[in-house]
Structure 1
Amino acid sequence: MKRYVSALLTALLLLLTVGTAETGTASAASVRSHNLRSGWALHSANGVTDTGEVISKPGYDTGGWSPVSLPSTVLAGLVKNNVYQDVYFGQNLKNVPDLTKQNWWFRGEFDAARKAPGQAYWLRFKGISYRAQIWLNGTKLDGNAVGTLVRHEYNVSKLIKPGQSNALAILVTPPQHGCKDLSICTVDWNPEAPDMNAGLWGDTSLDTTGPVALRDPYVKTVLPLPKTDSADLTVYADAVNATDAPVTAKVGGTITKTGKPTLTFSQNFSLKAGERREVAFKPIHVTDPALWWPLQYGKPELYNLSLKAGVGGAASDTKAIRFGIRQFTDYRKTVNGTSWAGYKVNGKNVLFRGGGYVWDLMQRWDTRTNATHIKYLKDMGLNTIRMEGTIGNEELYDLADENGIMVMAGFVCCSAWQDDSTWTAEQYDVAKASLDSQMRALRHHASGFVWTYGSDEPPSAEHLAAYKKIGADLHWQNPTVDNVATWSNDDAGMKMDGPYVWEPPVLWWDTKQAGSAFGTTAEEGTQAPPPYDSVRKFLSPSDQWPLSTAWNYHAGRPGTVFADTGPYDKAIDDRYGKATSAADYAKKAEVQNYENTRAFFEAWSAHKYSESFGTIFWMLNNAWPAVHWNLYDYFFKPGGGYFGTKKATEPVHIAYDYSSRKVYVVNSTLAKQGGLTATATFYNIPDLAKKHTATAAVTSEANSSAAVMTLPAVSGLSSTYFVRLQLKDSSGKVVSNNLYWNSTKPDELGSKSDWYYTEVTTYGDMSGLSRLAQNPDVKATATRTRSGVTIDLTNTSKTNVAFFVRPEVTVNGGEVLPITYSDNYVSLWPGESTTIKADAEFQGTPTLLLRGYNIPTTTVRVR
């Protein structure tokens, strides 16, 4: 990952410093992009009487303003300046007043490059929320730059002061609360930000070019499917004439990849004064392409496109992107009377498995944060990230390209985006401009997988037609769907039937249930409180137990059906035994999270291509410290849900169907696996008495799933019992090891169901886990390596299992974060050993913390 970031930065620096060296002409225009991050200040408009004309003049005194760096929202800037403190702790966010009731000034001062013959200057804004008036050097550039997801660009060649200090003043009008504007909003996921994310959330830059500027390069790749031994590449880019006179230019470029022939192309064309026009090149035929594949299918191979525009023999602009040669296609298959969307990549069926991403509540991110999201997705074995309205983080797209993660993007539900029957003419224009801006940002990325024009409901016929025309005009090469909910559109191809609160594992497997693993779902999931160590970071001891108003404030948005964790809490008490403290609740929650997310992804994977075609877990992460949906928490601490997912999505995996008692072997790779043996063994708790064993020979076809045995109803079982599944290769090596805890009193579902839950009438009895004998005989050693720590665990007991053992690499008492483990929450039978590799960067002296469901908490020195 670090090598990729370094290489990308090096390439960008080369492109951004092109000038005399590239053209060989001393008077050539500078070609560069300067990100205007520093030198900014923020202030409420209520406290400023000066006009934009005055504020935007160089030298204006911003004494008393809050210094900020861009990108920044209003709230992020105020928090950075300690105007509001610890806003994520407890209910402190309530102490922040409504910041949308006033406008806000952002003012920045910067130096511009010296003037050269033919040089043009461009101001570019990738994200202003929601509405802005923009002044440069005392002149108003725009009196109504509107649209959170709209990019704004201005030719400021006549206003800039070359080689001198320049000033920008931007008066921002925040979006309305309640998602009433076409802005970024998080519906019922968390409390609304007090400023509704007003501000300059995207990059702001000053670009310099010659007379012709290049914009939005893109390579459309077409394969002769089902063959993949060649590809046709069509290069597109927009060219913009920065002058008041016609101009003739030449645009040429190269396509390169190490070990592959260099491809070149060029074209001459003319532009009218001020004209912006797309330039399309003749298709380039490539033989034996290196294909981009998603995770577990192969390598995500990338090519480099470099473009250069020249005028009169001098370089005018350059652009460079990476792209992948791949082709996504869709198909339909009917299951349970409904037509579902299925997908293929490079002619191969692909089951998309992912989570719903959301950025920080204040829209803060950085490279480390973005890289960790992608690293965790990849480590969990997930291949897709869904961005419902939280689009525009282009660095995340880059990282997804590099790591074989597919991106599902589109507009958000339950907001002005969905309520398009009430749009004004301005909102209609904003919606179209938003789609154009965001499709341009995503279209050249190999990771771009599908665009959803609507979420819960489809846009109106008029608006949908306009959207599809934009997609066609931009040569969008990937599948699209009108929306992702069959309840509002029979032909949507995807469902959003819930659930969104806790349900027992059997629900995912029982295909009579609306939310079970059949068809294609854009989102569904379950409540998943974070580990106790994380809870202590945002709740005071008195708010941690009993579960408090502050706890519920960190659930879904107040006033919604998700404003508390009631269904989840009842399941813990009724299934695992009534929780007696915050630590006891968290201990049981980790086990419950593990079993539920494991069952979720196992069910979808086991039914792939016959009944199921793709799933998104709601959610991947949280916008702030939350006790509701996630696969990993705000602090990047991996918990039960994380490791349950990781177990379920192993490349080759053995799984148990809670509904039919079938055992499945799922192969998520493109390689056949033969000579395997599946074993299922039932054990009583607490004595580990073996009650039944079944075996089956298995050949697992590439990219497939098959039931390999059906387990009988075994008599003589304890009320809580274990089912241990193992899959071994011909040499006896374990390929997949999977332990289930189950009950002779099964979880049962009732007939009452709504969009967010299904009634649970009977809860299984997992309380037998608390009767496991304490096992002090787990021995651990830990050795530091170049990439982290290697952990060796051995259960030296002759009689007792070590259940749900959690090793943690810690420094100064807390787990090193972010971190990945090759496995975790492991269970060891008497005499068994395992080795776990932890990957993390840290400073200081690490210690191994070892805890588990029935082992004492101990610490081990890392050697």
Structure 2
Amino acid sequence: MFARSILALVLLLALGIGMPGLEAGRVSVTSTDLTAGWSLRSADGISDSGAVMSQVGYNTAGWHPISLPSTVLAGLVANNVHQDIFFGTNLKKVPDLTRQRWWFRGEFSAVATSPGQVYWLRFQGISYRARIWLNGTLLDANAVGSMVAREYEVTSLIHPGEANALAIHVTPPAHDCKDLSFCTVDWNPEAPDMNAGLWGKSVIGTTGPVALRDPYVKTVLPLPATTTADLTVYVDAVNAARFPVTTTVSGSVTKSGHSPIYFSKEVTLNAGERREVSFNPATHPQLHLAKPSLWWPHQFGKPDLYKLSLAATASGSTSDRTAIDFGVRQFTSHRAMVNGTSFASYKINGRPVLFRGGGYVWDLLQRWDTKTNTAHIRYVKDMGLNTIRLEGTLGNEELYDLADKAGIMIMSGFACCSAWENDGGWSAEQQRVAYASMESQMRAMRHHAASFLWTYGSDRPPSPARLTGYKRIATMLHWQNPTLVNVATWAKASAGMKMDGPYVWAPPALWWDTGKAGSAFGTTAEEGTEAPPPLESLERFIAPGDVWPIGPVWNYHAGKPGSAFDDIKPFTDGVNKRYGVATGAADYARKAELQNYETARSFFEAWSARQHTQTFGTIFWMLNNAWPSVHWNLYDYYFKPGGGYFGTKKATEPIHISYDYLTRNIHVVNSTLMARKNLTATATVYTVPSLTQKYTTSARVTSVASTSTKVIRLPALAGLPKTYLVRLQLKDANGATLSNNLYWYSTSPDMLGDSSTPSNTAVDRYANLTGLNRLAPNTQLDARASRAVSGGRETVTILLTNTSATNLAFFVRPEITAANAGREVVPVIYSDNYLSLWPGESATITAAYETVDLHGQVPHLRIRGYNVPTASIPVR
């Protein structure tokens, strides 16, 4: 039996080609991930056919044992065929794995049969082209498309209660993004196998004659009111029998604290038919909810979720069951004119939302697990961001689930600068792959509360014909969230989002200067800068002899070799010309952390300070890295949080006070849906290195919900040294500090040039921040720590006190390490970091992590700062 998808299978069944005797009985409803019992090897030199290799007991001696999911390269690395490929330039030693074909072979046990039981084989993702055999029979001769989900009804081929065998012959995608596959464009070297293999889950499942697929709840609010909600439930019912079957599809909507809702419908399905079954308030009034609990993004409220449970029964027995979580929420899109351009803006449940996020990428080998996915979402939330963008990195459905629960919105679509955008010359096969990919990925995405925006194109819009096809799919799937044709106004003036760069380092003043293309106005799908990680991370992937001076190994870990981003000269120029020429790797790293902090902080502050009037959303390019990189991230590959991370976390505090580098205006930004009254904002200017107070002023503040308020403008002050400090504080009516923010700047400020490109804005003059190097050393920072352990997680409470009577403790970095002088425990969440303490001041912060990440070592608190020597104490 041949089948490409469930739809093709249904056609075959309708023609009478199907399994006889599907009388209903007490069947098993199961789903088992096929992870163990797999092997991998090159197809070179193998003469056996897939029919032979897919027989139980076939000899795989000499093959590489693997676990699924796995790409070819991931499997080879797991077997030490290629070692330390992320270290130095070792990746260059891996041959081009796309020049070969590859066999994946596995055996699995199938549950015992019962009358009416149906077996289904599902693949979430095979890249790029595959021939699939099951138990000696060719199941699919041309399964093409990396992002196409596939399902096969395999009842007649399965050995119930016994071992079964699969053999899958994989043809990799072409290099240089020439196939409709995953594509990393220019942010790192391409994977030598182009991520060929079984990258998604592979599943064997059982149902009765009727299976349920792709449940979804569309939620509509009577905006601007949110006191009720109308739910429409959709699910596909599939009849695997070669004769009509009558089934009752029933469901429930439940949530703790709410009365459950029940509904059902009887449906007769023709032989082999797949039909969408729907329930709506017109036919089922109980789906009109009163006083719903709403799903809100991070900082707006709780991301409340309901559970939809569905079951299909036939002849009195359960045939299938499925369940999803969903949120009652509604996104709406609007347009606003800024600087003569129409930009997209968005509301959630009738309230304007400034989306702030980063571009997510998975590991270069497409490896992930629950711990890794959880760390990404926790870091996004901890940084105060509310959005992640998936540019082509679609398919990590566990990440979607975690985003739902955390209130993190997801912006999704295919990759730029690749076959995905060069659709004018597509073959008929490529068109089928594109449409099937979109349907598969949109089906997986649509039921998630976190799903916020789908972009049909990235930089460039699809051709009119392709766009029509994409929109037809979205309509068929009842996609209820906003969409955009593309996200770059340079390619389409009405796109609604801009992509004007920069993509290399620029001074923090750039984001505030609306006369520059890359500044904070309108809506942007991406912009960002180089971001070298802390020294501890650099030393994990660069050999001691290559760490300094910066050279070819550094550059290999920048953008894709041969691209415009294959070095970090603009960032290094900023470090050397603003902070003083680096004398070595350690000196460079400590100055780079300062620059990363101020760059990321200013970026998000500028976008937040103009929210809903001039700015409507921004994505920092990038959130993380696919491999150890010195370019584009807010945290590094190893999850070590650095200057960019903590600068972002500072900028996106729920209530925040910030400084405009260009105009010297001070803003109070409220990123919540709750107004705050009787606040006091204070700004104080100090000289460096003497810490003499030159100016101070205060203002009373009422901070309106989800709004930025301009509260103070610092005057131009005479008599300041080249480098000075601006300290901003925001306190409530009881004197409690809500936001504490310190800036270092210069009377010789950064000056931007008139020339700019999509990647770079010229810098005519660099700020003089070298005064920081003359801060008096502070050896009187007292550090104490205590630890609480519960349920495999630990929380360390850190008390820092600057006991010096005269000296500032500047840019202090407390870290929890595994053993004395060990590496920082990661992933880790700090309540604050990179903080500065005035003489006599104290600060209490916490660090939370998992006990297992200590690797059996005693935790230590390591303290270091820009003018504070390194010290370490055990944490008891």
TM-score bracket for this pair, using the shorter chain length: over 0.9
Does residue 1:212 correspond to 2:225, yes or no?
no
Pairwise CA distance, 1:27: 4.6
Aligned twin of 1:821: 830
- Deviation track 1:199-231 (CA, whole Å, cap 9, x = no partner) reads 000000011000000000000000000000110
Question: Does residue 437 of the first structure (1) align with residue 450 of the second (2)?
Answer: no
In 2: Cα distance, 1:458 partner to 1:277 partner = 32
The 5-angstrom pairing of residues 601-750 of structure 1 reads: 601-750=604-753
Matching residue of 1:10: none
Distance in 2, matches of 1:349 and 1:203, equals 37
Fraction of identical pairs, as percent: 65
Equivalence map 1:241-640=2 (5 Å): 241-283=239-281, 284-640=287-643
Greater mean alpha carbon deviation, residues 785-794 or residues 522-531:
785-794
Report the CA distance between 1:814 and its aligned residue. 1.1
3-state SS of 2:44 partner: helix
Q: Distance in 1 between matches of 2:458 and 2:523?
A: 14
Distance 2:760 2:203 in 1: 47
Q: Could you tell me whether the CA contact under 8 Å between 2:24 and 2:208 is conserved in 1?
A: no
- Give the deviation of 1:47 after TM superposition: 2.6
Alpha-carbon distance, 1:282 to partner: 2.4
For 2:850, the aligned partner's letter is: E
Task: Tell me which of 200, 203, 209 is aligned to 1:202.
Answer: 200
Find the residue that maps to 1:597 and give its secondary structure. helix
Determine helix, strand or coil for the equivalent of 1:47.
coil
Please list every run of 5 or more consecutive structure 1 residues that lacks an aligned counterpart in the other structure.
Answer: 1-24
- Residue 163 of structure 2: aligned partner: 165
Match of 1:848 among 839, 861, 874: 861
State the distance in 2 between where 1:45 and 1:270 align. 46
- Per the alignment, residue 54 of structure 1 pairs with 52
3-state DSSP class of the match of 1:660? coil
Residue 861 of structure 1: how far off its partner (Å): 2.2
Output the CA distance in 1 between the equivalents of 2:848 and 2:783. Answer: 18
Question: How big is the shift at 1:550?
Answer: 0.9
Cα distance in 1 for partners of 2:278, 2:335 equals 32
CA offsets 1:801-838 (integer angstroms, 9 cap, x no match): 00000000111311111101000000001110000100
Partner residue of 2:20?
A: none
Q: Deviations over 1:700-747 (max 9, x none)?
A: 001110111111101111100000011111111111000000001010
Following superposition, the deviation at residue 26 of structure 1 comes to: 11
Q: Deviations over 1:369-424 (max 9, x none)?
A: 00000000010000000000001100000000000000000000000001111111
- Report deviation, 1:312: 0.8
Structure 2 distance, partners of 1:850, 1:668, is: 31
Look up the SS of the partner of 1:46 in the other structure.
coil
- Whole-Å Cα distance in 2 between the matches of residues 490 and 265 of structure 1? 47
Aligned partner (choices 51, 67, 75) of residue 77 of structure 1 = 75
Aligned partner of 1:22 in structure 2 is none
Query: Counterpart in 1 of 2:122?
Result: 124
**Equivalent residue number for residue 191 of structure 1:** 189
Distance in 2 (CA, whole Å) between partners of 1:161 and 1:241 is 21
Residue 155 of structure 1 aligns with which residue? Answer: 153
Contact residue 108 and residue 164 of structure 2 kept, 8 A: yes
Which aligned runs of 4 or more in structure 1 are off by greater than 4 angstroms? none
Query: Any stretches of 5+ residues in structure 2 without a counterpart?
Result: 1-22, 282-286
Q: Provide, for residues 73-120 of structure 1, a one-character-per-residue CA deviation record: whole Å limited to 9, x for no partner.
A: 000000000000000000000000000001100001011111111111
The one-letter amino acid of 2:409's match is M
Task: Report the Cα distance in structure 2 between the residues aligned to 1:519 and 1:725, rounded to whole angstroms.
Answer: 27
Q: Given the two structures, how large is their TM-score scaled by the length of structure 1?
A: 0.97
Normalised TM-score (structure 2): 0.95
Residue in structure 1 matching 2:847, options 824, 838, 843: 838
Aligned to 1:9: none
**1:244 Cα deviation from its structure 2 partner:** 1.2
Deviations along 1:133-171, one digit per CA (max 9) or x if unpaired, are 000011001110000000011110111111111100000
CA distance in structure 2 between the aligned counterparts of 1:862 and 1:81, rounded to whole angstroms: 38
Instruction: Give CA deviations for 1:526-547 in whole Å, capped at 9, x if unaligned.
Output: 1110000000100101110001
Q: Considering only aligned residues, what root-mean-square deviation do their CA atoms show, in Å? A: 0.9
Measured in 1, the distance between the counterparts of 2:100 and 2:547 equals: 36
2: CA distance, partners of 1:662 / 1:401: 37
Using the alignment, how far apart are the partners of 2:46 and 2:296 within structure 1?
54
Alpha-carbon distance between aligned partners in 1 of 2:97 and 2:719, rounded to the nearest angstrom: 64
Contact 2:144 2:433 in 1 (8 A): yes
* CA–CA separation in structure 1 for the residues paired with 2:860 and 2:113: 58
SS of the equivalent of 1:84 reads coil
Tell me which residue corresponds to 1:860: 873
Q: Which amino acid aligns with 1:161?
A: H
Partner deviation per Cα, 1:535-587 (whole Å, 9 max, x = no partner): 01001011100012111100000000100001001111100000111111000
Check the 8 A contact 2:236/2:275 in 1, yes or no: yes
SS of the residue corresponding to residue 838 of structure 1 reads strand
| Residue identity opposite 2:35 in structure 1 | R
